[in-house]
Amino acid sequence: MDLSCTMIIFGGTGDLAHRKLMPAIYNLLHEKLLPENFAVVAVGRKEKTSEGYREEIYHSIREFSRFKVDEGTWNHLKDRIYYRTLDFLQEEAYISLEAFLRDKADQYHTKGNRVYYMAVAPEYFEGIVDKLHRHCMGGDVAGWQRVVIEKPFGRDLSSAKYLNDKIVQVFQEENTYRIDHYLGKEMLQNIMVLRFANMIFEPLWNNRFIDHIQITSSETVGVENRGDYYERSGAMRDMVQSHMLQLLSLIAMEPPNDLDTESIRNEKVKVLKALKKIEGKDVVENTVRGQYGSYEADNGKTPGYREEVRVDHRSVTETFVALRIFIENFRWAGVPFYIRTGKRMPEKSTEILIQFKTMENILYFKDKQLQPNILVIRIQPMEGVFFQFNAKEPGTRQRIIPVEMDFCQNCRVGINSPEAYERLLYDVMRGDATLFARWDEVEYAWKFIDSILEGWKDHIPVFPNYEAGTWGPKEADELLEKDQRNWINR
Ligand code: BG6
């Protein structure tokens, strides 16, 4: 397969390019997955030379690459990196950009193939795509042209539709890569294997045997320097609309007929279509919002959200969300999916916990409940699978205790899992969109989220309502307690 191409990164001076994209490109080269005919053109508003940019990127790669930087490999890559100063919305700037790209295509034999990566703030997506259109830089003019759009894809259904309409005027659906970096994580790709390649799981994967599912993605960091963006987004748009619903659809989907891109996406979108709408009075019943307050410890004070940089000191933006979701289909009717995500929580972790129904206690300790079986898929930072089952405690007394089987993937020597962006950039170059969101996935995710956001307008909680470093507001616990369940923080 010929992967020859030029990668044009709009937003080349931003955090994403420095921390993720450039280290991923370096790692792909290190793994010998980058094509020989390749160049990167980073585009940004700041004035700088290609030499100066390369120097900065070198430091970022040293800091963020999962491999130690090898000077030979770096020199090979360095010569292929260019920087262009450009005002994204200025019409004429694209004329010289096009000339520059043509020149580099000739120099590196990239056959006119291009990947346009939108690593810019979302308000520029449309303007850039529009300029590419006007200057005939999109569409398959010569070779192929693909566009990678970072999330958030819109801020509600109507803005997402508007953006999508603009994009499809220029790039066909198969050339549009809506990135959700969670899909590039190793263990997410493992969910389908775990479910569909193991006899012991799939037959039990339904409402007859599963009591409920918990999906948690917690972070210890606050909003860092992203106050501007986060104020307009909040945890719901930032995490739930994309990452959390993607996790949910992989866990809940039916087996696809095939492993091809569309078969998998078809099954995922069916889950999103089957989500029971949360609206009206159900919003209060099924959703919880939180915002972190400050925390004082001996070693200093952790600021609350309202004290963060570029955040309104009366902000009502949520930094935590918990939801109780039902999927209206035969497999899942009646099984609650509890999802929660938040910033400034006690640990950085993403896990999916499947709690099976409790065994009828006919034989043992009729007065005491047996512990349920629990299967945990650990996405990060630990990658692996954990299973809890009941066994006899050794000894003469007849006692049953829960014991664990624990498979830790990244504890194994020699496993240095690729970063999500490596896999995803590689897939864009080889034209495989399986791990990217199709338009209808984005559309149905927004439909589900929009009605909750609408319902939230009527009730503004008193914020802040959880202390930094805790598992969110008490209402998040109550959400499960009213179902006689509780979050399992292991
Ligand atoms: C991003 C969100 O998409 O995902 C961030 O915008 C969040 O707010 C990040 O911190 C979490 O990603 P990861 O890979 O660190 O879990």
HEC profile for 354-405?
EEECCCCCCCCCCCCCCCCCEEEEEEECCCEEEEEEEEECCCCCCCEEEEEE
Question: Among 217, 226, 239, 240, which is best to mutate for testing ligand 1, by the most ligand atoms less than 8 A from CB?
Answer: 239
Tens-level pLDDT at each residue, the chain (490 residues): 889 999 999 999 999 999 999 999 999 999 999 999 999 999 999 999 999 999 999 999 999 999 999 999 999 999 999 999 999 999 999 999 999 999 999 999 999 999 999 999 998 999 999 999 999 998 767 899 999 999 999 999 999 999 999 999 999 999 999 999 999 999 999 999 999 999 999 999 999 999 999 999 999 999 988 999 999 999 999 999 999 999 999 999 999 999 999 999 999 999 999 999 999 999 999 999 999 999 888 788 889 999 999 999 999 999 999 999 999 999 999 999 999 999 999 999 999 999 999 988 777 766 677 899 999 999 999 999 999 999 988 998 878 889 999 999 888 767 777 889 999 999 999 999 999 999 999 999 999 999 999 999 988 899 999 999 999 999 999 999 999 999 999 7
Q: Indicate if 243 belongs to the active site.
A: yes
Question: Measured from the CA of 350, which atom of ligand 1 is nearest?
Answer: 16
Q: Which residues pair with 342 in a beta bridge?
A: 218, 320
Which candidate, 429, 359, 345, places its Cα nearest to that of 39? 429
CA gap 374, 356 in Å, rounded: 6
Which candidate, 105, 426, 466, places its Cα nearest to that of 289? 466
Closest residue (by CA) to atom 13 of ligand 1?
182
Longest dimension (CA), the chain: 85
CA 297 – ligand 1 centroid, Å: 26
CA gap 5, 28 in Å, rounded: 14
Closest residue (by CA) to atom 14 of ligand 1?
182
CB neighbourhood size of 486 (10 A)? 12
Question: Measured from the CA of 243, which atom of ligand 1 is nearest?
Answer: 3
Looking at residue 359, what is its pLDDT?
85
Question: Measured from the CA of 221, which atom of ligand 1 is nearest?
Answer: 10
Closest residue (by CA) to atom 4 of ligand 1?
239
What are the C-alpha distances in Å from 112 to residues 4, 36, 42, 257?
Answer: 9, 15, 17, 35
CA 473 – ligand 1 centroid, Å: 21
Looking at residue 140, what is its pLDDT?
65
Q: How far is CA 202 from the centre of its chain?
A: 25
Question: Measured from the CA of 229, which atom of ligand 1 is nearest?
Answer: 6
Q: Which two tokens stand for residue 402?
A: 């829960």
**Using CA of residue 429, residue 431, residue 435, residue 440, what is the dihedral sign?**
positive
Q: What would the DSSP string read from start to end of 308-368?
A: STT--TT----SEEEEEE-B-STTTTT--EEEEEESS-S--EEEEEEEEPPPP-SSS-TTS
CA 63 – ligand 1 centroid, Å: 19
pLDDT digits (tens, 9 = 90+) for 107-151: 999 999 999 999 999 989 999 999 999 999 987 678 999 999 999
Looking at residue 418, what is its pLDDT?
85
CA 218 – ligand 1 centroid, Å: 10
Q: Which two tokens stand for residue 61?
A: 């790669």
3 state DSSP class of 467: strand
Looking at residue 229, what is its pLDDT?
92
CA 170 – ligand 1 centroid, Å: 29
What single DSSP character describes residue 37?
S
Looking at residue 366, what is its pLDDT?
65
Q: What would the DSSP string read from start to end of 206-274?
A: STTTEEEEEEEEE-S---TT-HHHHHHHHHIIIIIIIIIHHHHHHHHPPPPSSSSHHHHHHHHHHHHHT
CA 271 – ligand 1 centroid, Å: 23
Q: What is the CA radius of gyration of the chain?
A: 24
CA 442 – ligand 1 centroid, Å: 18
Closest residue (by CA) to atom 5 of ligand 1?
238
Q: What is the dihedral of CA 44, 49, 52, 53, to 10 degrees?
A: 30
Q: Which two tokens stand for residue 126?
A: 């449309």
Domains of the chain: 5-150 (3.40.50.720), 184-481 (3.30.360.10)
Closest residue (by CA) to atom 15 of ligand 1?
219
Closest residue (by CA) to atom 8 of ligand 1?
238
CA gap 335, 318 in Å, rounded: 26
Question: Measured from the CA of 226, which atom of ligand 1 is nearest?
Answer: 8
What are the C-alpha distances in Å from 163 to residues 155, 238, 400?
Answer: 10, 17, 57
Closest residue (by CA) to atom 2 of ligand 1?
238
Question: Among 15, 179, 216, 219, which is best to mutate for testing ligand 1, by the most ligand atoms less than 8 A from CB?
Answer: 219
Looking at residue 412, what is its pLDDT?
78
Question: Among 238, 382, 383, 419, which is best to mutate for testing ligand 1, by the most ligand atoms less than 8 A from CB?
Answer: 238
CA 219 – ligand 1 centroid, Å: 8
Looking at residue 413, what is its pLDDT?
66
Q: Which amino acid is at 458?
A: D
Q: Which residues pair with 374 in a beta bridge?
A: 355, 388
From the list 30, 181, 212, 243, the catalytic residue is 243
Q: Which residues, 6+ apart, have CB-to-CB distance to 114 below 8 Å?
A: 5, 6, 7, 8, 101, 137, 143, 144, 145, 146
Looking at residue 301, what is its pLDDT?
87
Which candidate, 122, 130, 112, places its Cα nearest to that of 171? 130
Question: Measured from the CA of 238, which atom of ligand 1 is nearest?
Answer: 6
pTM listed for this prediction: 0.95
Which residues' Cβ are closer than 6 Å to ligand 1? 219, 238, 350
